[in-house]
Amino acid sequence: KNQVEQSPQSLIILEGKNCTLQCNYTVSPFSNLRWYKQDTGRGPVSLTIMTFSENTKSNGRYTATLDADTKQSSLHITASQLSDSASYICVVSGPDRGSTLGRLYFGRGTQLTVWP
């Protein structure tokens, strides 16, 4: 079982609407949590990075929240635009038995489609 689970797997919304994507993780201890946006045919682009002490972080119309107690994060997109259509990937940094540095645990992403 993957240690980072994202929901929903896919989502379709109309332009201008808001939406919220979920990320639940079991990685422990946890160093930081990242949200990436990946457009089709391109590499991921970092949206936010949050440590365990941060509850919320914004980047324009994107707002990420983190509840380290329940091990949940959400990414809220406000006033969606057509260009928001992409895959959104949650990534948690945590321990790795093979390395003192730790590793990244990737979710499988939520595919968001914004319709005009």
Partner 1 sequence: DTAVSQTPKYLVTQMGNDKSIKCEQNLGHDTMYWYKQDSKKFLKIMFSYNNKELIINETVPNRFSPKSPDKAHLNLHINSLELGDSAVYFCASSQDFFQRGNNEQFFGPGTRLTVL
> Considering only residues 41, 60, 69, 83, which one is a binding residue for partner 1 as defined by CB under 8 A?
41
Residue with tokens 């949206």: 47
* Six-digit token string for 56: 């919320």
Rounded Cα–Cα distance for residues 54 and 64 (Å): 10
* Six-digit token string for 65: 């929240």
Q: According to CB under 8 A, which residues from 42 to 101 bind partner 1?
A: 42-46, 49, 51, 87, 89, 93, 98-99, 101
> Considering only residues 71, 77, 109, 112, which one is a binding residue for partner 1 as defined by CB under 8 A?
109
Rounded Cα–Cα distance for residues 5 and 10 (Å): 13
Which residues are near partner 1 by CB under 8 A?
A: 31-32, 38, 41-46, 49, 51, 87, 89, 93, 98-99, 101-104, 106, 108-109, 111
